[in-house]
Amino acid sequence: MHRNTPLVTLELPLRNNPLSPVSDGEDDRPAKRFYHYIPLYLAVFFILSPHPSVLVVLVNYHLKTLNSPLRFTVHLLCIYLLTFLAFSSLIVCIARDPGSVNTEEQATGSENEDGEMSLTEALIGGHDDSFSPERWCRRCQSPKPERAHHCSQCGRCVLKMDHHCAWVANKCIGHRTYPAFVHFLTSVTLLAAYITLMSGSALWFAFTHPLDVDEKTPIHELFIFAEGFVFSLVIGSFLIYHIYLVSTNQTTLEHLSPFLLLRYLPPFPPSEDSHKLSNPPEEHELSFRQRSLIRAAHGHIRLYDVGWRKNWAQVFGWNKRWGWVYRLVFGGGCRGDGRHFPRNPRTDEMLARLASELVKVDKDN
């Protein structure tokens, strides 16, 4: 008796499937080379570079010239405390995964980045409402939750992706690392500003009392004053920008990409007078007037802005009473699962008005 064998055998080489002949159990993400870590080495160098001159100024100015051990101790503790805080949050940004979109991780609660996805989950997207045909990542061949984006440099989708940062070991800043990243910016800005003020007062004393100080100490004071001033402006400006993003509950990608609003538009009403637009429309299908309309609406439609207090609580919130204490050390992580976010109650109304305006402009063309 012969066995009933199928005439055609269909094999689907799923991504990250260890039994697949395509993947062979290996990760498809691009491997990091040594030059990917050069910005990280520079960041560490910039943080540590003023410390030799800081010690010279503290010893020669506060101990020998002013004879003030109290000021010496206070300045020493503050500077190295801020340095410790900067490195603690930097380590979190490097060591912690920014947020994986793998569906098995959501079900099991594990943080394994190499979890498998069954064929059924890949085709129907599980039972998550945020997994819709419009939110399917063709590169990862997997569903993509709300506010998740695919990073071409990391070769994966990241939950609530903010941006890809070369300064943190060429990794993405996402749902699980964004508070630590803001904590890092805050610590570096405070460290640079503190060194600037401390060295500035010592430099002013050197100019007004030239005979009371030695010849080399003012050079160290001038060096750390200039370096601290430049980093206070550069990193401080970046910090102010992210404070604005947190207050309005936006990511860098959402703020810089106005055409992301197109994927949230309601279905257009059928009309014979308008041109043929996709539903929702693609960016390349829009006319110049429609693009201008999208850019103008982008400054007013903030999909996830629920008030600055709730926005800050969503990013830096804690569940326990004293949960904020350890977050002062390294920043912690965002609340929630990174897949569902509360919407602005006015969002649907504003998106409907935008859709009607796009159709109206399309008819006029």
- pLDDT single digits (tens) 201-218: 999 999 998 888 888 999
pLDDT for residue 198: 95
Q: Which of 90, 49, 324 is nearest to 185 (CA)?
A: 90
- How much is the average pLDDT of 94-122? 54
319 vs 335: CA distance, rounded Å: 9
30 vs 353, more confident: 353
Phi, psi dihedrals of residue 173, rounded to the nearest 5°: -100, 115
Instruction: Look up the pTM and report it.
Output: 0.82
pLDDT for residue 333: 79
- pLDDT single digits (tens) 252-290: 999 999 998 888 888 876 665 555 667 778 888 888 888
User: Long-range contacts made by residues 323-329, C-beta under 8 angstroms, separation at least 24?
Assistant: 327/179, 327/183, 328/85, 329/85, 329/88
Average pLDDT, rounded, for the chain: 81
Output the six-digit token pair for 81. Answer: 């405390």
- How much is the average pLDDT of 321-332? 79
- 281 preceded by cis ω (within 30°)? no
- How much is the average pLDDT of 111-115? 36
Q: Which of 330, 328, 324 is nearest to 91 (CA)?
A: 330
pLDDT at residue 228 tops 90: yes
Name the band, by pLDDT with cuts 50, 70 and 90, for residue 192: very high
pLDDT for residue 274: 54
- Sign, CA dihedral 268-270-272-277, equals positive
- How much is the average pLDDT of 348-359? 88
- How much is the average pLDDT of 27-51? 86
The CA angle 304-309-313, to the nearest 5 degrees, is: 80
Domain coordinates of the chain in residue numbers?
A: 34-105+119-248, 252-364
210 vs 48: CA distance, rounded Å: 29
Contacts of 330 (CB under 8 A, 6+ apart): 85, 88, 89, 91, 92, 180, 183
